[in-house]
Amino acid sequence: MTLAIAHRGDPLRFCENTIPSFRSAVELGADMVEIDCRATADGRVAVVHDPTLSRLWGLDRPVAALTWREVAALGDPTARVPQLPEVLAEVEVPLMVDLPDPDAVEGVLRDVDHAGASARCLFVGALESLRRVRRLDGRARIGLTWDLAAPPGAQLLSELRIEAFNPYWRLATAGVVAGEHAAGRWVSVWTVDDPRDMVACLSLGVDAIVTNDVAAFLELRRAVPTAVGAGRGDGGDAGGERPGDAGRPSPAAP
């Protein structure tokens, strides 16, 4: 079964990267939830995507220049920036942890370890962030985010020891997906919101789709079960092995 990864929760209905957004995504049936992490000036991990707080929170200052207390004061009880430990406690499904800020890596690994959540967190994002993750934690689960036409080189793949390839969806082809499966890696694509594009990605045999519209993807997945397993040799059976790699970890579990 192709997994539904809820991009920043359920941002079409709730403010992205907030507890209500995450709760809604899980209630809708998301298999995984994608979150973004940035470090505050005092070393806390704020779950927020942008480097500044202007777009959503009306404060045109960098997250990195503010203390957690200053960040936490923004918003209101129904919508505010959460801290990573709160998200780890609230969201029980697997997490795709996007790391746009390399300076957040140490704090993220600390919080994930303290929560006992390492097994259900897949780290993606900026290349320098992923390199730091691997240097600090040899057992961390890494998915290589990719937006270049040229494929990643063997040296980089050896350095990061990834379990998943996470390209921009337009870069995914049947050949790319088959090659990743043959190498023992699963494939997630981002960020896919148009149902026609979702069907196209399903037809390639991807293992997971990152989407802002998790409700639409879940409805489509139910409606076209034959497309869900297309090209993957598992007949759409959620319990089947990934193509060409018996015993390889599934996307949602180590």
- Residue 243 predicted with pLDDT over 70: no
The arithmetic mean of pLDDT across residues 77-92, rounded, is: 96
Q: What pLDDT was estimated at residue 238?
A: 31
Tokens describing residue 36: 């973004």
- Residue 244 predicted with pLDDT over 50: no
**Which pLDDT tens digit goes with each residue over 5-25?**
999 999 999 999 999 999 999
Q: Whole-structure pTM over 0.85, yes or no? A: yes
Sequence ranges of the domains in the chain? 3-228
- Residue 59 predicted with pLDDT over 50: yes
Q: Tell me how far apart the alpha carbons of residues 97 and 33 are, in angstroms, rounded to a whole number.
A: 8
Q: What pLDDT was estimated at residue 251?
A: 62
Residue 250 — very low, low, confident or very high, per pLDDT cuts 50/70/90?
A: low
CATH 3.20.20.190 is the classification of domain 3-228: yes
- Residue 226 predicted with pLDDT over 90: no
**Which pLDDT tens digit goes with each residue over 139-161?**
999 999 999 999 999 999 999 99
Per the DSSP assignment, residues forming a β-bridge with 145 are 166
Q: What pLDDT was estimated at residue 225?
A: 64
Environment class of 78 (CB within 10 Å of its CB; exposed 0-12, middle 13-18, buried 19+): exposed
Helix (H, G, I), strand (E, B), or coil: what is residue 202?
A: helix
Residue 224 — very low, low, confident or very high, per pLDDT cuts 50/70/90?
A: confident
Q: What pLDDT was estimated at residue 160?
A: 98
State the Cα torsion 212-66-114-126 to the nearest 10°. 50
Q: Tell me how far apart the alpha carbons of residues 111 and 188 are, in angstroms, rounded to a whole number.
A: 25
The arithmetic mean of pLDDT across residues 88-95, rounded, is: 98
Percentage of the chain exceeding pLDDT 90: 87
**Which pLDDT tens digit goes with each residue over 177-217?**
999 999 999 999 999 999 999 999 999 999 999 999 999 99
Residue 114 — very low, low, confident or very high, per pLDDT cuts 50/70/90?
A: very high
Q: What pLDDT was estimated at residue 241?
A: 35
| C-alpha separations of 115 from 29, 92, 103, 165, 207 in Å | 23, 11, 20, 26, 27
End-to-end CA distance of the chain: 16
Q: Are the beta carbons of 248 and 184 closer than 8 angstroms?
A: yes
Q: What pLDDT was estimated at residue 192?
A: 98
| C-alpha separations of 231 from 1, 3, 202, 244 in Å | 12, 15, 9, 11
Q: What pLDDT was estimated at residue 44?
A: 98
> How confident is the prediction for the chain on average, in pLDDT?
91
Helix (H, G, I), strand (E, B), or coil: what is residue 143?
A: strand
Q: Other CB atoms closer than 10 Å to residue 175's CB: what's the count?
A: 9
